[in-house]
Structure formats: structure tokens, C-alpha cells
Amino acid sequence: MSALRDAGTRFRKRLLRAEPNFSLLSKLWRINWLYVLLICALAGVGYIALYSAAGGSAHPYAAPQAFRFGIGVILMITVALMPLKFLTRLALPLYIVSLALLILVLRMGHVGKGAERWIIIGGMQVQPSEYAKIALTLMLATWFHRISWKRMGNPLWLIPPALMTLVPVALVLKEPNLGTSVIIGGIGATMFFAAGMRIWQILVICLPVPLLLKIAYAHLHDYQRARITTFLHPESDPLGAGYNIIQSRIALGSGGMWGQGYLNGSQGQLNFLPEKQTDFIFTMLAEEWGYVGGISVICLLLLLILGGMFMAIRSRNRFGRLLAFGVSVNFFLYCLVNLSMVMGAIPVGGVPLPLISYGGSAMLNVMLGFGLLMSSWVHRDSRFGETEENKSELP
């Protein structure tokens, strides 16, 4: 009996180490369609919210956003069908292109609200910092996939991925875009931890953080310092720097339990609420749909985050697991920063709510990330290019 068990275990390991060769129909069948349904539900919430933001019209927000979502779904399914090994080959070229675009935006970027964040490509306005998040996630997953857990204990092996993270963070800060740079740094930090970074290494890195924060604050732009001051004392300038957060709090509070009704929000419909189609769209939702509606949207976001983490855990491939984890963290940080911002828990940072806020670059970036996440799920039994040590860690 013991011999049969051992033989069965050896056969299972040999089977799992092989690269599965699925047909196109098989891959389509393996896509997590329940997760796709959740994505469509969240995008539907976004359409309804943008329709309200335009005063009961599909233009200029809801209809273009729905068109972008349709393109995003095609992009997501296309990327989901790509083998993980092929994605590792794309990692370096995509990362280099993302850095080139970030440099280009500093040279000839479109200025909006005091920052250079967009460039025009083929008549379309593109925000390179959004795509830098996905490029970094893909690059770090590829790097950590190719080194063993034992090598993670050697600080020299952590220098290249640290530079991979710091370079886009510095370029995005230069635009300046503090909110997105924090998210990019957060993605890098969590992927280091997920890849097996030692506790003592984390503690060593955290020691100079207070000094670095002091230096960073000294180099902030005036409007960024004003945001921090406003966050602490918004009532000190109610018609200036504190206007956004005060109006956001009024709208959140006026929604009550059940809301004022669809298309009937006082702050949103009377245009007291700033940037109601982008940064503060959740505030408008909560005003019209109330506490119950706001919590429902948060639960939907949470289901997508937990679903992504589940797919990461189920992956038998180190690259797929890290890739799915990085995409899920990116989505989580999007939600965390935006919701905290509109509730007054952190300074206003200009980060949209994924799939709900209006914006093409953010929408396509999120859908591209979901495509990578789905690829890790479709090819979750693939094994390639791993050290024997890393293979032994997997179930």
C-alpha cells in the first residue's frame, strides 16, 4: 500500500511539472467566468454612477466608459489565453517601454492640475504611470520566479528588484503624482514580502523610513503640502484647499441609510461635489444610494480582491502566484487609497476608483491586470523555469 502511495505521488509530481498544452476552447473553459461576472457587475455600477454624474445622460462619461470596458474585456480574455512562459518573455520589453513613456511624459507631457501626467499617442490621451504598475508587477514576478528562496536571503539579489521599483517611483514623483507613486511603491514592497523576503531584511529597510519621510516632505510641491495641511485641518480653508474634502463629507453624511435617491443627490446634482465623475465618484454613490449602497459597492470590491488572492494561492507556479498576488494588491491599493481619500482618512491624492471612476488609462490598466490574473488561473498547473527548491515549496 505504501509503495502504491509513493508511486502515485511521484506520478502526480511528474504530471504537475509538465507544461499543460490546452486547446483554445479548453483555455476558454478554464477562465473563471464567475470572476468575470463580478468584474462586469462592478463596471455596471460605474456606468450607472457616471450616468448620474452627467445629470441623467450617457454622455460625456457613461457611454465612452462602456466602450472602453468592452475593449478592456477583449483585452482581458486575450491576455488570459497567453501562456505564462510567454508573459515572462514580455516582462523586460514592457518594463523598458513603461520607463520610456514615463520619461517622455516629463519631456512633452500634457499639463493638468499642476502636473504632467498624460501624453497624446495616436490622438488618445494616455497616462503612462498607470501602465507602469502592471509592467512593474510583471517584471518583479519574473525576477523572483527565477531566483530561489535561499537566494532571497542574500541582499545582493534584492538590489536589482529594488532598483526596478525605485526608478518608476522616482519618475512618477517627478510628474508630480504622489498618490500613484505610493501605489507603485506599495506594489513593490508587498511583492518583496510575498517572494520570501526575510523579516530582518524588512526591519533593516524600515529603520531609515522616518528620515526618508522627512526628506520627502521637504521636497513636496506647495499644493501637495497644502493637501496634507488640509487633511489635518480642512476647516482652516473651507472655500479653498479644504473645499473638496468638506463637500465630500457633507455628501457622505447626507446620504443617510438609504440615500437621497438615484439622480437626486443634492451635493452631486447641484455640482457642489468636485470631480464627481473621477476621484469622488464613491461619494456621489453614497449620497444617492446611502450607507447600504456604499457598503454594497465595497463588498463587491472586496469580493474581487479576495477572488484574486484565491487564484494566487491556487497557482502551482511561482511566477503565476506572484503575478496574481501583485495584480490583486494593485487593485486593493487602488480601492484603499481612493476610499480613504474621499472619507478624509488620508490626504486627497487623485487616485480613481477602479472600474467606476471615469478614465481610459485606469480602465484599460485594470482590465490588463485582470487578464494577467486570469492567465495565472487558466495556466495554474503549469511549471517551468523553477529551481528544485522552489518546486518543493509548492503543494
DSSP code at position 234: G
User: Which residues pair with residue 120 across a beta bridge?
Assistant: 125
Region 230-254 average pLDDT: 80
85 vs 17: which has the higher pLDDT: 85
* Cell, residue 131: 501602465
Longest CA pairwise span in the chain (Å): 79
Q: What is the pLDDT of residues 33-84, one digit of tens each?
A: 999 999 999 999 999 999 999 999 999 999 999 999 999 999 999 999 999 9
DSSP code at position 353: P
Q: What is the pLDDT of residues 290-339, one digit of tens each?
A: 999 999 999 999 999 999 999 999 998 899 999 999 999 999 999 999 99
Of the candidate ranges 134-148, 285-299, 375-389, the one whose mean pLDDT is the lowest: 375-389
212 vs 43: which has the higher pLDDT: 43
The residues, ordered by sequence, that sit 6+ positions from 118 with a Cβ below 8 Å of its Cβ are: 105, 109, 110, 112, 125, 126, 127, 361
For residue 355, the model assigns a pLDDT of 95
For residue 164, the model assigns a pLDDT of 94
For residue 64, the model assigns a pLDDT of 94
User: Which residues pair with residue 116 across a beta bridge?
Assistant: 111
Of the candidate ranges 232-246, 260-274, 321-335, the one whose mean pLDDT is the lowest: 232-246
163 vs 239: which has the higher pLDDT: 163
Q: What is the pLDDT of residues 86-131, one digit of tens each?
A: 999 999 999 999 999 999 888 876 655 555 577 877 667 788 898 9
C-alpha 244/C-alpha 349 separation (Å) is 12
Residue 6 has pLDDT above 70, yes or no: no
Residue 27 has pLDDT above 70, yes or no: yes
Domain residue extents for the chain: 24-225+311-393
For residue 111, the model assigns a pLDDT of 57
Residue 205 has pLDDT above 90, yes or no: no
Residue 169 has pLDDT above 70, yes or no: yes
Of the candidate ranges 6-15, 265-274, 308-317, the one whose mean pLDDT is the lowest: 6-15
For residue 394, the model assigns a pLDDT of 45
Region 14-22 average pLDDT: 49
The two beta strands, 124-126 and 110-112, are unpaired
Residue 8 has pLDDT above 60, yes or no: no
Q: How far is CA 256 from CA 260, 287, 395, in A?
A: 8, 8, 48
Average pLDDT of the chain is 85
pLDDT grade for 210, boundaries at 50, 70 and 90: confident
pLDDT grade for 29, boundaries at 50, 70 and 90: very high
SS (H, E, C) 274-309: CCCCCCCHHHHHHHHHHHHHHHHHHHHHHHHHHHHH
pLDDT grade for 14, boundaries at 50, 70 and 90: very low
User: The dihedral of CA 10, 13, 18, 21: what is its sign?
Assistant: positive
